[in-house]
Amino acid sequence: MKAQCISHCLLGMTLILYSVHTHSLRRCLISVDMRLIEKSFHEIKRALQNKDTFQNVTILSTLQSLKTIKPIDVCCVTKNLLTFYKDRVFKDHQELSPQILRNISNIANSFLYMQRALQQCQGQRWCQCSQEAINATRIVHDNYNQLEVRSAALKSLGELDIFLAWIDKNHQETSAT
Ligand SMILES: *[C@@H]1O[C@H](CO)[C@@H](O)[C@H](O)[C@H]1NC(C)=O
Ligand SMILES: *[C@@H]1O[C@H](CO)[C@@H](O)[C@H](O)[C@H]1NC(C)=O
Ligand SMILES: *[C@@H]1O[C@H](CO)[C@@H](O)[C@H](O)[C@H]1NC(C)=O
């Protein structure tokens, strides 16, 4: 009986920690206007995706199998992917069209803002990375490394809708609790 109670209590604690965690993530990103980012992306989506010649591979494959990422890992994966876009994709991409470039800059600025919001509000304590989250991030980098750098950057930009939808979904889920 006693052992059963202990496991129940532990489960309860874990659930409380999960909900505190997701609530704090929601609060961290609540000031970010996702529609603005989505609007910028919508303007350039066609142009980017039409130039992508490797339709048979995906970079953000781990996000498409959403169920593998647990709520507790949402903060870590979001943070890691923002860094991935900031440090690799936006730097590696070469854009000739000034209009597209301005839209990409808008998205990049919003990502920087989101990253700061996460850093300030989470602290390290609420944004720990499990082995699964580390693996999920590594797969994204591995996929990226498999392509020539320009193609990889272009494809990752074209896949921003996957990442944005994923952030949106996790917002909504946490908003509902
Ligand atoms: C994807 O397509 C490209 C070009 O058509 C080809 O070179 C590459 O081998 C393909 N990759 C896979 C994983 O099928
Ligand atoms: C975004 O792209 C669209 C389509 O190319 C363009 O009309 C618009 O001016 C761009 N927005 C900015 C802020 O440059
Ligand atoms: C992470 O990846 C390593 C190496 O591929 C694997 O051995 C390990 O089981 C994975 N861990 C999790 C939790 O997915």
Domain boundaries, the chain: 2-176
> Which amino acid residue places its CA nearest to atom 8 of ligand 2?
99
pLDDT for position 174: 45
Distance 97 CA to ligand 2 centre (A): 10
Residue written as tokens 């990422």? 69
CA contacts within 13 A on the Cβ side of 79: 22
What is the best residue among 67, 130, 131, 132 to mutate for testing ligand 3's pocket, by most ligand atoms within 8 Å of CB? 131
Q: At 70, give phi and psi (nearest 5°).
A: -80, 155
What pLDDT sits at residue 4? 59
- With CA atoms as reference, report the closest residue to 80 among 134, 130, 132: 134
Q: Is-contact 51 154, C-beta < 8 A?
A: yes
Q: Which two tokens stand for residue 138?
A: 């590594």
Predicted local confidence at residue 155, as pLDDT: 96
Closest approach atom of ligand 2 to CA 40: 1
| Residue range 133-158, pLDDT digits in tens | 899 999 999 999 999 999 999 999 99
CA angle 95, 101, 104 (to 5 degrees): 110
Q: What pLDDT, on a 0 to 100 scale, did the predictor assign at position 119?
A: 79
Regions in the chain scoring below 50 on pLDDT: 1, 16-17, 174-177
Cα(4) to centroid(ligand 3), Å = 30
* Ligand 1 center from residue 119 Cα (angstroms): 38
Alpha helix positions (H), 123-159: 131-146, 149-158
Whole-number Å distance, alpha carbon 62 to ligand 3 midpoint, is: 13
Ligand 3 centroid–CA 95 distance in Å is 36
Ligand nearest to the CA of residue 109, numbered in listed order: 2
Give the number of whichever ligand sits closest to the CA of residue 139. Answer: 3
CATH fold for the domain made of 2-176:
Growth Hormone; Chain: A; (1.20.1250)
